[in-house]
Every structure is written in C-alpha cells, then in structure tokens.
C-alpha cells in the first residue's frame, strides 16, 4: 500500500447541510421561510445556526436580526397619506424624474437633500389590506422602465431600485365622554392609538343640529335627561367605517370602571 492521501467529503440530503464538524448533517434552517430573513439566509460554520445578511452595504439589519432596511429612507404616516423620504446622496445620481410610485403618473418632489414621495391612502396605486388588529396601506417606489435614458449624461450604475413601504393603523380605539349629575363638572376626554382621528360630540336636542360649544362645558344634566352624542372618524377613505362595538356610562373616565351601565354590547 502506498502513502497516498485520501480526502473524505460528506454530503447531506435535501433540507440539511454539513455541520461545523464536517461529518454530521444538521437541518438547514434557511429552507423554511428563508429562515425568516427578508433577503439572504446563510449558515454560520462555527455554531451550526443560520443568520440573515443584506445584499448590499447600503442596507443594514434591524434589531430583529431578520429584516434589512436602509438608514437613508424614512416613512411618515398620517391619516391622509404616506410619505417616503429618500436621502438623495445615497441613490447614486438618481432623482425624482427617474423614480415612480405604483401609479407612474404620481411623481415625487425633491430638494437638495431629499427625494420625497407622498402617496394618498386611496390613490397613486396604494393598496389597503386588513389584519386582525390593523389597517395596512402599502405602495412602492421603483425606477421607471426608461430611467437610464433620463440620466442626462450622468454615468451611474445600471441597477434598478424597488422600495416597498407601508403604514399600519390600529383598528380598535377607546374614546370616552364622561358626565356627572347637575352639581358636578362634565369632563370630556378622547383617547386614541395610531394616526386616525376619532371624535365624539354632544348635541343639545335629538335633531342633532346644534352641538355644545367649548364655552358650554361643563354641561349640567339632570337625572333621567336624554343626552345626544355623535361619533365620527376623520378620513377621506370610503372603505373605513366607524363601528360602535360597545357604549357604556361609568362614574369615571375609565371604560373598565367596576360600576358601569351598558347601552351597546357587541354592536
């Protein structure tokens, strides 16, 4: 027998990779939902676990260790629109004329520092979806198909850009209006989460034509007097409807007060 050197190479079945000891097969975590990564999922050789990577240096991982984001992009959510601000210097000579929203007719604006796109919640290709707890609006900024011809002699890289962005708004809110009998003050308080604006108004009669003004408060009411309230949500969306699930009276501003009188239960 000669002194030849032999090398043993191990391989694993689908769904597994060779572990750090180069002998055992371990489960490939990247085969299940890409390991939860938004972009690249790779295995660490030294501890047999996967981790997420971003495709370019301009993207960094969030604290969740799964999602890549750009520190040069900012999203602002209001009850009327979504706004995406891009740091101009980070996008290699591109300007607002070479970029578009989902609806190409919606153009961005810009200044020396930023490129800005403002997408109405119901326009410019914005899509609305519902989850159990949120209303989600989404759109996308991307390079126009002919963006290279719009560069006006600027030498730049030939890659394209796609930046999906979204805003989430909570679906459930508590808003409260409190009152006490004649000798007590009427306190009025609103609570909300997210950016949709809810309102509650108290009216003087059942024809709901004349609301109480700020100078009328505190409003004094007698026991067994009728009171008239209107609830509303400030939005231009025809698809967002206000649903009064529960209406109650409590001796305090808390809807969870032990003593309460229910007017509406489960709609």
What six digits make up the tokens of 145? 């198909």
Sorted by sequence, the CB contacts under 8 Å of residue 266 that are 6+ apart come out as 245, 246
| pLDDT, position 46 | 62
Residue found under tokens 């520190």: 71
Q: How far apart, in whole angstroms, are the C-alpha atoms of residue 101 and residue 144? A: 9
| pLDDT, position 157 | 47
Is 16-68 assigned to CATH 3.40.50.360? no
Q: Are 202 and 176 in contact (CB under 8 A)?
A: no
CATH of domain 70-170: 2.60.40.3210
Residues of the chain with CATH 2.10.25.10: 16-68
| pLDDT, position 185 | 47
Tell me which residue of 198, 200, 216 sits closest to 208, measured CA to CA.
Answer: 200
Ordered per-residue pLDDT tens for the chain, 267 residues: 456 666 767 778 887 887 777 778 888 888 888 888 888 888 776 667 788 988 777 778 888 888 887 778 889 999 999 999 988 877 767 788 889 999 999 989 989 889 999 999 999 999 999 999 999 999 999 888 876 555 555 544 445 788 889 999 998 878 777 666 555 444 444 443 556 788 888 899 999 999 998 888 878 888 888 888 888 888 888 888 888 888 888 888 888 888 988 888 886
| pLDDT, position 195 | 62
| pLDDT, position 152 | 52
What six digits make up the tokens of 173? 């809110």
Sign of CA dihedral 116, 121, 124, 130: positive
Residues of the chain with CATH 2.60.40.3210: 70-170
**One-character DSSP codes across 66-129:** S-EE-TTEEEEE-SSEEEEEEEGGGGTT--GGGEE-SSTT---EE-SSEEEEEEETTSTT-EEE
**C-alpha distance from residue 231 to each of 175, 213, 247 (Å):** 9, 16, 11
């Amino acid at each position: 027998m000669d002194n030849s050197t032999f090398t043993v190479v191990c391989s694993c079945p689908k769904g597994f990779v060779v572990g750090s000891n180069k002998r055992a097969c371990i489960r490939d975590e990247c085969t299940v939902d890409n390991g939860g990564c938004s972009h690249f999922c790779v295995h660490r050789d030294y501890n047999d676990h996967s981790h997420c990577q971003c495709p370019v240096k301009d993207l960094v991982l969030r604290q969740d260790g799964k999602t890549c984001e750009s520190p040069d992009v900012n999203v602002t959510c209001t009850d009327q629109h979504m706004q995406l601000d891009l740091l101009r210097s980070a996008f290699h000579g591109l300007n607002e004329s070479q970029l578009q929203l989902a609806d190409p007719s919606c153009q961005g604006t810009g200044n020396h520092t930023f490129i800005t796109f403002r997408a109405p919640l119901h326009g410019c290709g914005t899509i609305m979806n519902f989850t159990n707890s949120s209303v989600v609006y989404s759109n996308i900024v991307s390079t126009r198909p002919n963006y290279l011809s719009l560069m006006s002699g600027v030498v730049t890289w030939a890659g394209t850009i796609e930046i999906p962005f979204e805003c989430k708004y909570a679906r459930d809110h508590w808003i409260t209006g409190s009152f006490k009998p004649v000798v007590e003050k009427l306190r009025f308080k609103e609570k909300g989460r997210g950016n949709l604006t809810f309102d509650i108004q108290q009216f003087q009669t059942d024809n709901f034509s004349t609301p109480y003004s700020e100078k009328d408060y505190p409003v004094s009411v007698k026991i067994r007097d009728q009171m008239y309230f209107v609830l509303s949500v400030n939005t231009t969306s025809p698809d967002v409807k206000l649903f009064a699930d529960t209406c109650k009276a409590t001796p305090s501003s808390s809807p969870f007060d032990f003593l309460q009188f229910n007017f509406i239960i489960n709609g």
